[in-house]
A = this chain, B = another copy of it.
Amino acid sequence: MSEQIVLPAPADFHVHVRQGKMCELVTPQVAKGGVRTAYVMPNLVPPLTSTDAVLSYKAELERLDPSIQWLMTLYLHPDVNPEEIRKAAKAGISGVKSYPRGVTTNSNSGIEDYGVYYPVFKAMEEEGLVLNLHGEVPSDPEKNISILNAEVHFLTHLKKLAHDFPKLRIVLEHATTSNAIEAVSSLPSNVACSITAHHLYLTIDEVAPQPHHFCKPLAKEPKDRKALQDAIKSGNPKFFLGSDSAPHPLGSKVPGVQEDGSVSACAAGVYTSPILIPLVATLLESFGALDKLEGFVSTHGRKFYGVPAIEGKELTLRRTGNAEGEGIVRGTLKGEGVEVLPFWTGKKLEWEIVN
């Protein structure tokens, strides 16, 4: 078993770094987790629906951590028209993120119908922007659609978009089901798929009793987790890391009784940034895919996006020791008036970053 691993500059192709005090706390954690290139989600309040707003956010992130290559996205919204797409392309924005309305954090401005966006997608295809899909349909009890099958029901939309825009690069984000893996595998090479770290570990059994494991899409059955693991083991370059690291203040993750007597619900999101690459190494090793680590975190995503590895930004990992407490992820991160709990707290990482 190798005791040291050198990776070309790792990239996380799906990360939330939020805004305000939370942004100040979590932005520097991206590099601490071993990531050199970060593809940033636009679901702020208000959502980033203009090139100017995205560039202003990018400047803020560069101020907070100039060491990271920040790749930026627009939020798909009626304000985003073909003209805005061309402006975004000129400004170096990489992609556009689509949220079905109401399915996850800050998605109230999300889309209800893809048809109206066909001119936008056409412009994206021409300008080389990537379409990033949160691949879930909204729940609908009358149709037996719930957070369990919301992703499977979305796959018809994915297939139609892939068919209608054969030159548009499309990423199905944070796949969680064997059906999604099969769909992406069977579609042409313009369609790829990001996979989070936490969905390689969680199933519904670990999520239901633990709000800190609750996220959208929900982790599903053991067979689904195995399909994600097998996709990575296969070495298929369609599958790469997008952590969906999504910090929420501790109080938003743990329900409490409100003053009016109602009970708050738990925000959707799992926060992995501070430990990301060591965690991915630990997980891949656990299911016999450590030899696929470089492809999954450094190579496949960069190739799909056309973002070459940065010279001199290699990351070296070494195995953690066996002394008591070594490699154990401990407690919350605290910023000014904000506290967030990383995934894997209390558990051991088998790999650590060599500083």
| Chain A residues with a Cβ under 8 A of chain B | 139, 141-142, 144-149, 203-205, 207-212, 214, 218, 221-223, 225, 254-258, 260-263, 265-268, 328-332, 341, 345-347
- Tell which of B141, B218, B329, B345 touches A208, judged by Cβ atoms closer than 8 Å: B218
Min CB–CB distance A177 → chain B (angstroms): 13
CA A225 to CA B144, docked complex, whole Å: 10
Chain B residues near A257: list those with CB within 8 A: 331-332, 341, 345
Smallest Cβ distance from A186 to chain B, in angstroms? 22
What chain B residues lie within 8 Å of A218 (beta carbons)? 204, 208
Q: Select one of B204, B254, B261, B267 contacting A256, CB under 8 A.
A: B254
Known: A221-B146, A254-B255, A257-B332. A263 touches B209 (CB 8 A): no
Once the chains bind, are B205 and A147 in contact (CB under 8 Å)?
Answer: yes
Is A258 a contact partner of B207 (Cβ separation < 8 A)?
A: no
- Contacting pair B346 A262 (CB below 8 A): yes
Are B341 and A263 in contact, with the CB atoms below 8 A?
Answer: yes
In the assembly, what is the distance between CA of A328 and CA of B263, in Å?
13
Selected contact of A209 from candidates B148, B211, B222, B225, CB within 8 Å: B211
Copies of this protein in the assembly total 2
Contact A214-B209, Cβ < 8 Å, known A146-B203, A256-B254: yes
- Is B261 in contact with A205, judged by CB distance below 8 angstroms? no
- Looking at the assembled complex, report how far the CB atom of A340 sits from the nearest CB atom of chain B, in whole angstroms: 11
Provide the residues of chain B in CB contact with A266, threshold 8 Å: 209-211
5 additional contacts (CB under 8 A) given A142-B222, A204-B218? A139-B205, A141-B203, A209-B268, A257-B345, A258-B346
Of the residues B144, B212, B329, contact of A255 by C-beta under 8 Å: B212
Q: Which residue of B lies closest to A328 (CB)?
A: B261
A146:B204 contact, CB within 8 angstroms: yes
Query: Inside 8 A of A203's CB, which chain B residues have their CB?
Result: 141, 146
Pair A263/B212 contact, Cβ less than 8 Å: yes
- Tell me, in angstroms, the Cα distance from A341 to B214 when the chains sit together: 21
Complexed CA–CA distance, A331 and B145 (Å): 32
For A204, A225, A332, the residue with the greatest tally of chain B CB atoms inside 10 Å of its CB is A204
23 residue pairs bridging A and B, Cβ less than 8 Å apart: A145-B222, A146-B205, A147-B205, A148-B204, A149-B221, A204-B218, A207-B208, A208-B218, A209-B267, A210-B266, A211-B255, A212-B263, A254-B254, A254-B255, A254-B256, A257-B331, A257-B332, A257-B345, A260-B346, A261-B328, A261-B330, A262-B347, A263-B346
